[in-house]
Structure 1
Amino acid sequence: MNSMSMGSITWIVILGIIGLLIVLFFAFVPVGLWVSSLAANVRISIFNMIGMRLRRVKPAKIVMPLIKARKAGLDLGVNQLEAHYLAGGNVDNVVNALIASERAGIELEFEKAAAIDLAGRNVLEAVKMSVNPKVIETANVSAVAKDGIELLVKARVTVRANLERLVGGAGEATVLARIGEGIVTTVGSSLSHKEVLENPDDISKRVLSKGLDSGTAFEILSIDIADIDVGRNVGAQLQSLQAEADKNIAQAKAEERRAMAVAKEQEMRAYVVEAEAEVPKAMAYALREGKLGVMDYYELQNLKADTDMREMIGGQTPEHTVIE
C-alpha cells in the first residue's frame, strides 16, 4: 500500500514538472507568433525567435512590422528591423513610413528612414507632410516703412517636408524667423506704407525669392499675406522724442548761461562793495593830507543825503549810505 502511494506521488510530481516545462516553453517560445508568420508566408524560424528573446528583443515588435512590410511588397529583412530596434528606433513607425512613401510614389530607402527616425524626427509625419503640405501661420511681424508708419504683417506659409534634409535640417522655428526677417526687410525698403498696403503680394514675391528654405528640413511652396494692420506712427514718435531731447538740452544750456550771469553779477557786486569800502579810507587820507576840506566833506554828505531822499521818493532803496 505504501509502495503504491509512493509511486502515485512520483507520477504526480513528474507530470507536474512536465506541465511546468510545457508552460515555460510556451511562455518563452512565441509559438503563436511563429504560426502567424507562417500563415502570412513570412519565414522566420522558431530558433530565430528564441534568439530574439535571448537578445532581449520582443519578437512581436519585429515580426508584426515584418509581416506588414511583406504584405505591402517591401523587401525587408529580420536583421534590419532587429538592428533598428536595438538602436532605440521605432520599427513600426519606420515600416509605416516606408509603406506610405511606396504608395505615394516617393523614393525612400530603409536606411534613410531609419536615420530620420533615430535623429528624433517622426518619419511617418514627414512622409505625410511630403504628400499633404503643411500650412504654418506666423505671428504679427512688426515692420516700419521709410515714412515711419508701422505695419503689422501676418503671413501663412505652405511648406512640404524635404526627406533629403530631414537629418541635420533646421525646423519650423528657423523658417518662421527667416520669414519674419524677410518681411521686415521688404517693408523697411518701401518708401511708403501705402505701397505695401496697395501691393501686399510684393512681400510674398520678395521673401520667396530669397530662398529662405535653404538648410532647413522643409521646402517652401508659397507665402501668402493673411493680414496687414497699420500700427503706430513710429517716425512721429521719434521726432517728438528728439524734439523733447533738444528742448531739454537747450534748457540746460540756458540754465548754465543764467547761472554764469548770476555768478558774474555777484562777482561785480563784490568788486563794488570792495571799492566802496576803500572810499572812507581815501577820504580820511585826503582830510589828513589837507587835500579835502571840512566844508567839502559836508557838501559831499549833503549831496549823498539829497540823492538818497530822491531815490526814496522814487520808490527805490538807496544804494549809498552816509559816510561817517
Structure 2
Amino acid sequence: MDQTGIIAIAVFAGLVALWLIFYFIPVGLWFSALVSGVRISLLQLILMRWRKVPPSVIVSSMSESTKAGLSLDPNELEAHFLAGGNVPNVVHALVSAQKANIQLDFKMATAIDLAGRDVFEAVQMSVNPKVINTPPVAAVAKDGIQLIAKARVTVRANIKQLVGGAGEETVLARVGEGIVSSIGSAVSHKVVLENPDSISRVVLDKGLDAGTAFEILSIDIADIDVGKNIGAQLQMDQAQADKNIAQAKAEERRAMAVALEQENRAKAQDARAKVILAEAEVPLAMAEAFRNGNLGIMDYYKMKNVMADTAMREAISKPVDKK
C-alpha cells in the first residue's frame, strides 16, 4: 500500500474517532447549556447517552425552564422521559401555567402527562375555555309534545381533577340527562319554547361537572325544535291495542257460540237417532203383543185409524204453497 492510501485511511479513522468522541461527549450541547445558564456537567450528558436519553431534549427543556424562571432538576426530567413521558410538553405546560398564574407543580404536571392527558392543552384550556357542542337531545314535555334541543357547553380544564377525572363524554351525557329532565318537568312545550334559558339554569344548578376534569362555565341552548306529538301517538297506539283486544275477545265469544251450536246439533241428531231406533222397535213389539194375545185385531185397526186421522189433521194444518 502506498503512502497516500495510508494517509487516507488514517484521516478516515481520525474522523470516525472524532465523530464518536463528539457523539458520546456532547461538548457543543454542554456549551449551549452553559451559555443558557443551565448548570449541568459534561459527565451527566455522557451518562444520558448510555441511558438512552437524548441529551438535547433535556438540555432544551432545561434552557426553556431556566429562561422562564423555573428551577427544574435534570434527574427528574430524565426519570420522566424514561417513564414514557413527554418532557417538552410538560415544560411547555409549566411555563404557560406560570405565565397565567395557574398553580401547577412539576409533580402534578408529570402525573397528568403519564395519565395520558395533554397537560399543555389542559393549561391552554384553563386560559382559553373550550366550547363543546352536544348532539341533538330529544325529550317530551308533560303535554306529550317532543322537543329536540342542541346546547353549547363552555368548559375549562380543572387541573386538580385531570388525574382520575371524567372526560368530555361524561359531561355531554350529564348535560343531555339534565336537558331531558328539565323538558320533561315542563307543563307544556310552549313554556320551554318561550324560555329556553330555563333549561340552562336548571342544568347548571345540578352541578354536572362534579368528578370530571372540567369546570362548566355556561350552558347555552343553541337550537330547539318541535318534534312529534308523542302523547297523541301513544294514545293512538293504546286505542289500536284496545281494539285488537276487543276483536280477539269477540272472536273468542263467536267461536264459543259456534262450538255450542255444533254441540246442540250433535245432541239433536243423537236424539233423532234414538227416536228412529225406538220407532223401529214398535213393529217388533206389536208382533210380540199379537203372539202373546195382548193386542187384538180390532185394537190394531183402531190404532191405525187414529194414526190416519192424526196424519190428515197435520196435512190440513200445513199452509198451502201458492205458485
TM-score for the superposition, normalised by structure 2: 0.88
CA distance in 1, matches of 2:128, 2:232: 46
2:50 is aligned with 1:54 = yes
2:252 corresponds to 1:263: no
Paired residue for 1:209, among 191, 205, 208?
205
Q: Secondary structure at the match of 2:90?
A: helix
Match of residue 33 from structure 2: 37
Matched residue pairs, number?
309
2:78 matched to which residue of 1? 82
Structure 1 equivalent of residue 292 of structure 2 = none
Q: 1:305/1:159 Cα in 2 relative to 1: closer, same or farther (>3 Å)?
A: farther
307, 312, 321: which is aligned to 1:297? Answer: 307
Q: Partner amino acid for 1:130?
A: S
Deviations 1:183-237 (A, max 9, x none): 1111111111111111111110111000000000000001111111000111111
Letter in 2 for 1:277: A
Which of residues 182, 186, 194 in structure 2 aligns to 1:186?
A: 182
Of 154, 157, 172, which residue of structure 2 is paired with 1:161?
157
Residue correspondence of structure 1 range 143-158 to structure 2 within 5 A: 143-158=139-154
Counterparts of 2:311 and 2:209 in 1: how far apart (Å)?
A: 101
Amino acid aligned to 2:110? A
Unaligned ranges ≥5, structure 2:
290-294
Amino acid in the other structure paired with 2:145: I
Percentage identity across aligned positions?
Answer: 57
Matched, 1:126 2:122: yes
Equivalents in 2 of 1:297, 1:263: separation in Å? 39
1:252 partner amino acid: A
Q: Which residue of 1 aligns with 2:138?
A: 142
CA distance in 2, matches of 1:26, 1:297: 146
Q: Distance in 1 between matches of 2:27 and 2:113?
A: 30
- Cα deviation per residue 1:83-142 (whole Å; 9 max; x = unaligned)? 111111000000001111111111110111111000000001000000000011101101
Distance 1:9 1:305, change over 3 A: same
- Partner Cα separation in structure 1 for residue 223 and residue 53 of structure 2: 54
SS in 1 for 2:206: coil
User: Cα RMSD (Å) of the superposition?
Assistant: 2.5
Q: 1:40, CA displacement in angstroms? A: 1.2
Aligned to 1:94: 90
Match of residue 273, structure 2, among 250, 270, 277: 277
Distance in 1 (CA, whole Å) between partners of 2:167 and 2:33 is 40
The one-letter code matched in structure 2 to 1:264 is L
Q: Which moved further from structure 2: 287-296 or 119-128?
A: 287-296
Question: In 2, distance between residues paired with 1:135 and 1:166?
Answer: 18
TM-score (structure 1 length as normaliser): 0.87
Residue in 2 that maps onto 1:321: none
